[in-house]
Structure 1
Amino acid sequence: MIVERKIKVVTEQHNIDKPAVNEGFPMKEWTVEIYILDQEGKEKPARCFTKAVYHLHPSFANPVQTFLEPPFKCTNEGWGEFEMSIDLYTTEKGGKQTIIHDLNFAAPQYENIHTLTFKNPSQALQQILRETGPLPSDEERKIKKADGSKKKKAFDIEKMADGLVKLGEDDLLQVIQLIHDHKDESTYIQNNIDAGEFSVDLYTLPDPLLKMLWDLLVKQGVVNP
C-alpha cells in the first residue's frame, strides 16, 4: 500500500533589535512549523510523525535540533539565509523521510508544500493517516462490505475480527500460515518481525480464505456460526 500526503512547511521571520553581526544584514528571528494537509488543503497537526530533526547551518551553536510534538516548531535567531534539511520520523522501521527547506528573508511569511509517500504503513499509522483522507484500500473495503450486506454469506467479517484477538498463540500462527498460503494479489498484509506484529486487512482477503478462517474460529469456539 502506497499512501501520499502533502506536508506544508510554514516559515515566519522578522527583524529583531539586536546588533548586526554583518553590516547591512539585520538580525532576524525566524520560525519553521510543519503541518499535514487534508483533502481540502486545510492544515492539520502532523501526528503521523513522532519527531522532526532540523539540520541547520553549521555556524549555529546547536545546529541539530529535535522536536517531538506537532507542529515541530523550530525558532532561532540569525542574519543569514541558508538551506536546511529536516528529517521526519514515523514509528515504522526505516520510517525516516527528509525534506530540504530554503530559509530566506524575501517575505515575512511563506509556505512550501512537499508530497511525501508512506509505504505499507502499519495499522496504527493508517488510522492516523485516515484523519486527513482515505487510504487506497478504503474504497475496496467499502465495496466488499456493501457486497457482504447484500449477499448472505457463511461468515461475518466483523465477528471474525473480534474472534481473532481471542485465539491462543498456536492458533494465531495457524491463521497467519493460512493467510500466507491462500492470499491473492489484492490482499494487504504487513509482517513486522522485529516488532512481533502481523497486520492484515480482512476486507482484502479472498472469499475462500475468509471461509477457511471462519471455520477455524467456529471450531475454536470464539465465534458463533
Structure 2
Amino acid sequence: MPSISNTKRVKGVSIFRPFVYGSIATPVNPDKKPPNLPPDHTHQWTVSVKGVDGADISHFIKKVQFKLHDTYANPLRTCESPPFEVSETGWGEFEIVIKIWFVPESGEKPQSCFHFLKLHPYIGDKAELDLARQQRRPVLSYMYDELVFNEPTEAMYDILTSKGSAKLPSRARGARGEFTEESEAMELDRLNVGIQIVKENIDKAKETLLAKEKAVAELKAEREKK
C-alpha cells in the first residue's frame, strides 16, 4: 500500500470544518472577590476556540495562540492542547487576535481571526440592561465560522475523513449549528446598535448645523442693522 503523502494534494476536493470562537464574561461579585484580584478588575472572562456542539478539533488543530492587550503579563498565550482557551480578569474591552495552527500533515499556513472581548450587555431597554447588570448575568459573545481546506494534502485528507465528520463547503456560510442563531441575533443587535448610534450622531450634527446657521443669521442681521 503506497504511503500517504504530506505534500501531494488531493485535487478537486474541498473539506470544511465548522468551529466557534468567542468569549464569556461574568461580573465579579464585590462581596466575593477572588484572592489577589486587582482592585480595578470588574470581570472574569474566558476566550476560547472550540468545535461546534463540543466536537473534537484537536486532530487537525495543533495549537491556538491568543494575543491579549499589552497591559497583561505575557500577552501572547498559547494553548498546545484542548481546551483551547484563556481565562483572565480585567475591567476593559479590547480586540483579541486569535491565531490557529494546523497539524504538520496539513501543509497549511496558520490562520487568524479577531474577537472583540465583550464585558457588558448593550442590547435592550434601560430596565433590562440594569437588571442584567444587577443580576451579574454572564455576557456571551461567540461567532460561528468555517475552516476550509482546499485540495488538502493526502495526509490531511486522511485525518479529516477518518476523524470527526467531513463536509463540503456550504453555499451559504453559517449552516445551522450551535451558536449559529445566537450569532446571527448578536450580529443583528450590533447592526441595530450601530444604526442607532449613526442616527444619534446625525441628529447631533443637524442640531450643531442649525445652531451655527442661526448664529450666522444673527450676525448677518446685526451687520445689516449697522
TM-score by length of 1: 0.51
State the SS of the aligned residue for 1:45: coil
Cα distance 1:12–1:118, how it changes in 2: closer, same or farther (>3 A)?
same
In the other structure, the counterpart of 2:224 is none
Amino acid at match of 1:73: E
Whole-angstrom distance in 1 between the partners of 2:54 and 2:22: 10
Gaps (5+ residues) in structure 2? 1-12, 122-137, 169-226
Give the equivalent residue in structure 2 for 1:45: 56
Q: Using the alignment, how far apart are the partners of 2:38 and 2:167 within structure 1?
A: 51
- How much does 1:118 deviate? 1.7
Q: Cα–Cα, structure 1 residues 106 and 15, in superposed 2: closer, same or farther, change >3 Å? A: closer
Q: How does 1:86-165 map to 2 (within 5 A)?
A: 86-90=98-102, 91=104, 92-106=106-120, 108=138, 109-130=140-161, 131-136=163-168
Deviation at 1:115, TM superposition (A): 2.0
CA distance in 2, matches of 1:129, 1:71: 19
Query: Is 2:96 the partner of 1:64?
Result: no
Secondary structure in 2 matching 1:5: strand
**Deviations along 1:16-38, whole A, 9 cap, x unmatched?**
324542xxxx522211221123x
- Partner amino acid for 1:46? I
Alpha-carbon distance in structure 2 between the residues aligned to 1:69 and 1:19: 29
Structure 1: segments with no counterpart, 5+ residues: 137-225
| Count of matched residue positions in the alignment of Structure 1 and Structure 2 | 128
For residue 52 of structure 1, what is the amino acid of its counterpart? V
Could you list the per-position Cα deviations for residues 156-190 of structure 1 after superposition, in whole angstroms to 9, with x for gaps in the alignment? xxxxxxxxxxxxxxxxxxxxxxxxxxxxxxxxxxx
The AA in structure 1 aligned to 2:51 is I
* Structure 2 counterparts to residues 141-220 of structure 1, below 5 A: none
* Larger fraction in helix: 2
Counterpart of 1:50 in 2: which secondary structure? Answer: strand
Distance 1:127 1:36 in 2: 19
Q: For residues 101 and 4 of structure 1, what CA distance do their matches in structure 2 show? A: 21
* Shift, 1:111, TM fit: 2.0
Q: Distance in 2 between matches of 1:65 and 1:11?
A: 15
Shift of the alpha carbon at 1:76?
1.3
Judged with a 3 Å threshold, the aligned counterparts in structure 2 of structure 1 residues 36 and 121 are, in CA distance, closer, same or farther, namely: farther
CA shift in 2, pair 1:135/1:13, >3 Å: closer
Post-superposition Cα deviations, 1:141-168, rounded to whole Å, max 9, x if no partner, equal xxxxxxxxxxxxxxxxxxxxxxxxxxxx
SS of structure 1 residue aligned to 2:26: strand
Residue equivalent to 1:34? 49
What's the TM-score once normalised by structure 2's chain length?
A: 0.50
Distance in 1 of aligned mates of 2:47 and 2:97 = 12
Q: Which residue of 1 aligns with 2:95?
A: 83
